[in-house]
Structures are given as C-alpha cells and as structure tokens.
Amino acid sequence: MNFLKSSLEYIFKRIDNRALEQTANFVYPKLQCFLYDVVRINSSELQLSALHLNSIEYKGFRTVKEDTLVYRYEILIPDRPKFDIGTYKQILQGYCNQNALSYGAYGLNVYYKNIFAVFIEKIFFQGATLTIDVVYIDNAKSFNYCKHTVAQDTKKLKNKKAVNKLLLLLSK
C-alpha cells in the first residue's frame, strides 16, 4: 500500500512540476520584454542602460512554497545606482506599475484582482550585475506570497510610508 501511495505522490509531483515549467516558459519571455521596456523608458532615472532585449538576461525560475514562481533576471551595469537597495526596489516597482498602466504587460494581465500583477520581489547587486527577482501574481498563492514579502520588507526598510502604500495595495 505504501508503494502505491508513494508512486502516486511521485506521479502527481511530476505533473505539478511540468505544469509549473509550462507556466514559466509562457510567462518569462513576456516579463523579460516588460522589464526591458521599463528599463529602456526610465533608464536615466533608474541609472541603467539596456541596449537591447538580451541585456536583460533570464536566469531561470525558482519555486517557493505553495507553487509560487519567482523569475530571475540579470542586467550588467557599468556603475551601481546611488540608491539603497530598498529605495531602488520601490522605484523600480513604481516604474513597473506605471508602465503596466500605460502600455500593458505583453499579453499578461496587468492586475490580479485589484493589485498590479508584476511584483518586484527582490533586487541585489553583485559586482557589475543587478539581479531582479520578479513574481507574476496570477493566483491566490502568489498573491499571499507577495503580501508576506511586503510585510517582511516593512521591518527592513527605512521608508515605511512607501512600503505601507504597497501593503495597502496588496490588501485590497
């Protein structure tokens, strides 16, 4: 009986993994184009330069608990922007929201319920590389994950007023 149970669990896990991979293969190029346009349009304010679409390189996805996909992109940068990471993340999120409202998100939904569907989960600098982790909010699990992430960021960031605005958007 245990063998049958473990075999079924294995089969269902493989089916889930394939479904997640298919979702990732559909979403990642659209997010890449979206991020490219955000960087291209706001390059001076973001202190970045993206010469072509491939300058924003897709580095794969990771699955976090409850089947939330986090997409990782990297941009080679000549100089590190003069903002702290928390402020820079907020600025980038704001430009993503503005771009989504103005131009859409390349075949992806702009909103999930009443919040923006493209969520910058984390950014970090490593040498001459800016790494951006993005969650595309398309279900309740990814929504809850992002809500939890924003709550954690509230504890870390200096500019709590801006983070509280993000929390307010995620709580609607």
- Which helix (H) or strand (E) segment holds residue 135: the answer is strand 129-136
Q: Structural domain boundaries of the chain?
A: 2-171
Q: Give the Cα separation of 33 and 42 in Å (integer).
A: 14
**Per-residue pLDDT tens digits for 85-130:** 888 888 899 999 999 988 888 888 899 988 899 999 999 988 888 9
**Per-residue pLDDT tens digits for 4-33:** 666 556 565 655 667 677 877 888 899 999
**Per-residue pLDDT tens digits for 40-87:** 888 888 888 767 777 888 998 887 777 789 999 999 887 887 878 888
Which of 63, 62, 90, 82 shows the shortest CA–CA distance to 153? 90
Reduced to 3 states (helix: H, G, I; strand: E, B; else coil), residue 49 is: coil
